[in-house]
Structure 1
Amino acid sequence: MAEQDGVQVQTRSFRGVPIVEIADADLELYIRQRLPRILSDLPHIKWSHMTDAAYATRWVARAMKRFSSVAELAHRLTLQQTVIQGILSLIMSELHYESTDASKHRLARDITNEYLQKYADFYMLAMDACHADDDEF
């Protein structure tokens, strides 16, 4: 066991890929500590290396520019859920975290959703993160 961001983690290898295992009790703390840093790094992420869910986040970031206000967008549940899924993907890929336990994914999703609702500035950050031309989509 090693300590990472104040949380006990254990790293194992699966087919050569490092997997970080985090105890259920520590998962919430770990995500809460990592999420602000992950979001603050969004403008610097090389999007071509991201997963499909993060690609969806990028697409939604461009779609956000078409709305007149953050409040209008926040009420569009489908778009918000897509953003949440993209950010959740970033969290999981950054941790190299793999789990078949749906409750852990729900916990991470709920924390992410809570963060997005509390900090609407994320939407502005996401808009700044995406400067691609429409024909990239």
Structure 2
Amino acid sequence: MQRLKTRSQFQAVLAGTTVARTAHFAMHRATLDVCVTRLHLTESDPAPSKALFGVAGVWLGAMVPKRWAKRAVTRSTIKRQIFEIGAAFESKLPQAAHLIRLRGAFDRTRYKSATSDDLKAAVRLELQQLFAEAVTP
């Protein structure tokens, strides 16, 4: 599984379709055949450079904004959960670029600690539902 790294990769996947939603997460998908033809252009170099996604396969990215997860520890924990669940579902996902976006905050009064076991379990359960919804035809 490849990871999304550049801003242009994230933007290309966000421009794709939303394939699954839960209370706190959304999954965006962009097919690689569309993304490979979009070339990254820089202002200083008008000639096309590398393709956004040079390798075919499953690409995965995580977007956890500070707006919804204030603590860096919480953001890192959520990202780790995203990539672990993504690795488990890799064989079931189509060859495309996927982006998991946190779209709402977890209640801080319910989850006191930034990395509590309850928070990890809630994130894991919701991500499993998200991926299950995304792989069903």
> Taking structure 1 as the reference length, what is the TM-score of the superposition?
0.29
Higher helix share: 1
Say which structure is richer in strand. 2
